Structure formats: structure tokens, C-alpha cells
Structure 1
Amino acid sequence: MPLYEHVFIARQDLSTAQAEGLVEHFTTVLADNGGKTVDSEYWGVKTMAYKVNKNRKGHYAFLRTDAPAPAVQEMERLMRLHDDVMRVLTIKVDEHAEGPSVQMQKREERSERRRERA
């Protein structure tokens, strides 16, 4: 099955538990349609570069999935219809990166990775 990475932004006035509940809800939607979630991360409340629906901040969440295209389309459709979700981004990838995403790594770890590549 194809591999995907999803990032979505939920409204800032949700509690952390509600935002993490959205991650669980969309994971369940994916599983019901034949896909599976490889990894999920809750990145927390972050300030956005510009206002979206009159909000300056939002709860960011990240999902790595292994799912057929119809399952991903259904999940995206439900995300776009959900009142609490402001933005959705889905990217098809060749393989999932090992370990935590760049957002979850400490600054020191990121700078070490850059030195190793050079």
C-alpha cells in the first residue's frame, strides 16, 4: 500500500485532550477503510505565520500512514468537513523516515544531523 504523511491544524480554543482525540478519530476512520497508522505525533499549539479563520495559533498533529488511496480520500474528506480542523496537508512518500519528525527533535539533534550530511 502507498505511504502517506498528513499534517493538520485544529482550532486553538480546543483543549489538548480534544486535539489528541481528533488524531484518534481520524486514525479510526483510516483503519475502518483498510489503512493503518504507522506513527502519530501531537506537536502542540504553535503560532501560525498568518491568521486562518481569525485564529493566530493552532493545534498541530502529524500522522504517518500506510493506506489505500480511497481510505486517505475519505479521511481527508471528513477532515475538511470537521468544524475543528482548519487546514490539512497530505503528502505521498516513498518511505517513512526513522525516528521522530523534525518538529519533535531538539535543536541540538538537528544541528548534529546537518553536520553529518556535509
Structure 2
Amino acid sequence: MKKYELMYIANPQLDPEALKTLIADLNNVVTNNGGTILALKEIGLKDLAYEINKHRKGYYVWMLVETTPEGIAEYKRVIQITESVIRHIEIKEGE
């Protein structure tokens, strides 16, 4: 298994309960596909460098995970269709 840094920006208009559900759902995508979450940091609401989908702020979440290439592929598939996420990035550690 390989280590990946995952970061996503959630819609700032989500209520706190919906945000917790989103974070839990995305964490479950990693763990249900054989991955392990090594670190999770909810950075919080921050200003964006530029407007994204008419939003000037976003809720940042960062994770360090260990998973298989298939697990990261499933995470990417799910996060791309999640409307509450306005931007995301996945980086394989060491690259």
C-alpha cells in the first residue's frame, strides 16, 4: 500500500451536521476500500485564492492515508461526483 495526501475544499454553506456527514462519508470511502487514515486535520473555513463556483471561502480538510491504487481510484470517483466538494487534490507521497 502507498501513502497519499488528500485535501478537499467543501462548500462553505454546508451546515455543521452536513459537513460532519460529508467528512465521515469520505473517510468511509478510504476505509471501506482497505485503506487506513493515518492523520486527519479539519483546517476549517478559509478564504480562497480565487472564486470557485461563486464561493470566496471554503472549508478545508486534509488527510494522510495509506491505501491501494484501487482504493484511491474509488476515492477519486466518489469525490468527483460529490456536489458538496468544490475542489480536491490527491498526491502520492514521494512525488
| Band of TM-score, shorter chain | over 0.9
Report what 2:13 is aligned to. 13
Q: How big is the alpha-carbon RMSD for the aligned residues of Structure 1 and Structure 2?
A: 1.1
Report what 1:83 is aligned to. 83
Calculate the TM-score normalised by the size of structure 2. Answer: 0.92
Instruction: Report the Cα distance in structure 2 between the residues aligned to 1:41 and 1:17, rounded to whole angstroms.
Output: 17
Q: Looking at secondary structure, tell me which structure has more helix per residue.
A: 1
The answer to whether 1:32 aligns with 2:58 is no
Higher relative contact order (CA 8 A, sep 6+): 2
Q: Secondary structure at the match of 1:30?
A: helix
Instruction: Report the Cα distance in structure 1 between the residues aligned to 2:62 and 2:85, rounded to whole angstroms.
Output: 13
Question: Who wins on radius of gyration, i.e. which is larger?
Answer: 1
Read off the aligned partner of 2:82 and give its amino acid letter: H
Q: Looking at secondary structure, tell me which structure has more strand per residue.
A: 2
Q: State the shift of 1:61 in Å.
A: 0.2
Instruction: Report the Cα distance in structure 1 between the residues aligned to 2:80 and 2:43, rounded to whole angstroms.
Output: 20
- In the alignment, structure 2 segments of 5+ residues that lack a partner are none
Q: Secondary structure at the match of 1:48?
A: strand
Q: State the shift of 1:17 in Å.
A: 3.4
Calculate the TM-score normalised by the size of structure 1. Answer: 0.75
Read off the aligned partner of 1:85 and give its amino acid letter: V
Instruction: Report the Cα distance in structure 2 between the residues aligned to 1:61 and 1:4, rounded to whole angstroms.
Output: 14
Report what 1:66 is aligned to. 66
Instruction: Report the Cα distance in structure 2 between the residues aligned to 1:17 and 1:61, rounded to whole angstroms.
Output: 15
Q: Secondary structure at the match of 2:71?
A: helix
- In the alignment, structure 1 segments of 5+ residues that lack a partner are 95-118
Q: State the shift of 1:20 in Å.
A: 3.0
Q: State the shift of 1:36 in Å.
A: 1.1
Aligned length: 94
Read off the aligned partner of 2:71 and give its amino acid letter: A
Percent identity over the alignment is 29
